[in-house]
Amino acid sequence: MSVKKKFNLWFSAIFIIFAISSGSAIYNFASVENNVEHLVDHTVQETIIGKEIQRAIATQGMFLRAYYLEQSDFNLDRLEHYNTLLQDQVTTLQSYENDYSKDILASLQTSTATIIDAANRVVSTIDNGQFEQALVLINEDFSNANSDIYNLTVSLLETQTTVLAETESDTKDAVTFSTVLAIIGLLIGTVAIAILSVFVRRNIVTPLHHFSEQAAVMASGDLTQPNYVYESKDELGVLSKAFNEMKQNLIDILQNVHASTGQVSAAAEQLAAGTEEIAQASDEVATNVTHTSELANSTTIAALECSYAMAETSAGVQRISESTQELLTNTMNMNDDAHHGVSTIHQAELQMETIAEVTSNISAVTKELSKQSEEIGQMINVITMITEQTHLLALNAAIEAARAGEHGKGFAVVADEVRKLAEQSNESAVQIVSLTKQIQEGTKNVESAVGNGLSSVEQGVDIIKNAGDAFETISTTIQTLTGQVQEISAASEQISASAEEVTAAVSEIAASAKESSESFESIASATEEQSATMVQINSVAMSLNTNAAELKQVMSKFKV
């Protein structure tokens, strides 16, 4: 049964008890009130009227005797007045007729009529002068009627006294009964209230007190106290079960929070450490990216310088090509002259000066060619060094691109292309070195031949006889020189084309290096932003760690 139903039952019982007691008291008090009203409205009035009737008959007799002694109008008027008053009083008394006074009032009505009639007969007898007969009527008929009325009023008063006594007894009995009933109702109500108080104390106050103590202990943070179990099917039983379930849920929550706090604290520390490592790694990446950007700028500058050098190399090779074309033309002319030398030997002396000049020019050209070949060798060495440095820079760029991950894929492709171009340039440079050595050897041979030619010119007169043999040697040498010059010309053209390709590749390298530098600057900026973000995350992690420590401190107040 629920507490509400129990309270309703108890309060209904108490209400019924007090309602019965109060209803009985009200009923008895209403009866007393009715009796008192009847007493006031009837009995007292009848008593008063009875006294008035006694006084009226006494005064009537007095004025009748006065009229007997003195026949005055005043005495007659007063007599008639009291006759009328007596009749009116008796008529009024008739309105209060009840079971007690019914017979008395009937006799009183008859006696009143008799006494008035006797009085009227006495007056009439006195008016007729019959005083003795009037005196007899006064002493007999009037006095008898007066005595009857007096006795009837006495009986009426005695009856009223009896009625008053009975009414007083009934009133006392009603009051006593009401008092007893009220006392009984009060006692029953008091006992019921006492039982209700004990019930409330034992079944409501005591459990609530235990609940308040448990709540106070829980509020202090101690959850180790045993559960207070109140076995009942009412709301307090449900409250006990819900309270214990709430306590257990709170314990579970606190245990989970405690475990989660440790995990959050450890995770916050790991996050802080991780963000510090990431921040350091980001700083290192930013430093490396900045260094790589600087290297890319340096690569750009070196590539531009290499491009300028290759342009100059291309121009030099072009000049070599032009010179070799001239040399080829001259050697072909010399070959023609050598073929016609046998037939024109008789003109040898005349042409010695011309041959000397031509030989001197050839010597100068070969010397210039030798110098240019040496310059080409130096340029080839520079190109070789540049290609080796480009190859190293390409390797470094590929390594840095691999470190950059997704952001460096495009740069890795460019670096690989640069490395391939560097390898091709290196191979071309090796070929140019080989060809340059051959050119140098050829120029040395040419220079040697020119020297021999000069010696021959100087000794032309002496060895003119051997001119034919010399011309054959010259023809063979010129043919060889022609092939060499052709090879030099072809090699020069190849060197020029390779130089143009190297120039274009170096320009591409410069452009790629510039783009890479810009990309590295963007990566450096993004890395700096990432580093700043890592610093913020580290700050959040430290704040989270602090909050976890504060939560641990709060959790330490609870005992589970």
3-state class (DSSP) for residue 559: strand
Q: Are 72 and 57 in contact (CB under 8 A)?
A: no
CA distances 373 to 130, 364, 418, 443, 492, Å, are: 212, 14, 28, 9, 11
Taking phi first (over 0 means left), then psi (-120 to 50 degrees means alpha), and beta for anything else, what does residue 129 get? left
Query: To the nearest 10°, the Cα dihedral for 115, 118, 123, 128?
Result: 180
Mean residue pLDDT of the chain comes to 76
pTM greater than 0.75: no
Amino acid identity at 33: E
Q: What is the mean pLDDT of residues 462-487?
A: 70
Q: Quick one: tokens of 340?
A: 């016609």
Q: Taking the alpha carbons of 8, 9, 13, 16 in that order, is the dihedral positive or negative?
A: positive
| DSSP assigned state of 405 | G
Nearest CA among 71, 105, 106, 66 for reference residue 82: 66
As a dihedral over the C-alpha atoms of residue 545, residue 549, residue 554, residue 556, rounded to 10 degrees, the angle is 140
Query: Do 96 and 45 contact (CB within 8 A), yes or no?
Result: yes
505: left (phi over 0), alpha (psi -120 to 50) or beta: alpha
- Please give the CATH architecture assigned to the domain spanning 3-212: Up-down Bundle (1.20)
* Dmax (CA) of the chain: 247
**165/33 Cα distance (integer angstroms):** 16
Which residues, at least 6 apart from 10, have a Cβ–Cβ distance to it below 8 Å? Answer: 192, 195, 196, 199
| Gap between the Cα atoms of 485 and 498, Å rounded | 19
Distance CA 85, CA 121 (A): 18
- Kindly report, residue by residue over 7-61, the tens digit of the pLDDT: 677 678 777 876 786 777 677 657 666 655 655 566 777 788 888 888 999 998 9
Whether residue 399 contacts residue 465, with contact meaning beta carbons closer than 8 Å, is answered with no
Question: Do 442 and 481 touch, CB atoms closer than 8 A?
Answer: yes
Cα separation, 437 vs 451, whole angstroms: 20
- As a whole-number percent, the residues of the chain with pLDDT over 90 amount to 7
Alpha helices for 95-201 (secondary structure H):
102-127, 131-137, 143-200
Segment 225-246 mean pLDDT: 76
Q: Is the pLDDT of residue 202 over 80?
A: no
Q: What are the residues whose beta carbons fall under 8 Å from the beta carbon of 187, sequence distance 6 or more?
A: none
Average pLDDT of span 146-151:
90
Cβ contact 321:432 at 8 Å: no
The pLDDT confidence band at residue 529, using thresholds 50, 70 and 90, is confident
pLDDT at 229: 78
Cβ-contact 492, 321 below 8 angstroms: yes
Contact 376, 316 (CB under 8 A): yes
* Per-residue model confidence (pLDDT) at position 192: 79
Q: Is 222 helix (H, G, I), strand (E, B) or coil?
A: strand
Segment 314-329 mean pLDDT: 70
CA dihedral (84, 85, 89, 92) in degrees, to 10, reads 60
Pair of tokens at residue 333: 């002319």
Domain ranges of the chain: 3-212, 291-370+406-538
- Give the mean pLDDT of 223-230: 77
Q: Which of 14-18, 70-74, 169-173, 222-226 has the highest mean pLDDT?
A: 70-74
Give the number of residues written for the chain: 560
Cβ of 268: how many Cβ atoms within 10 Å? 20
Model confidence over 350-377: pLDDT tens digits?
776 786 677 677 777 777 777 877 787 7
Task: State pLDDT tens for residues 114-134.
Answer: 999 998 999 999 999 898 898
CB contact set of 82 (below 8 Å; sequence gap of 6+)? 56, 59, 60, 63
**pLDDT tens, 337-346?**
767 765 776 7
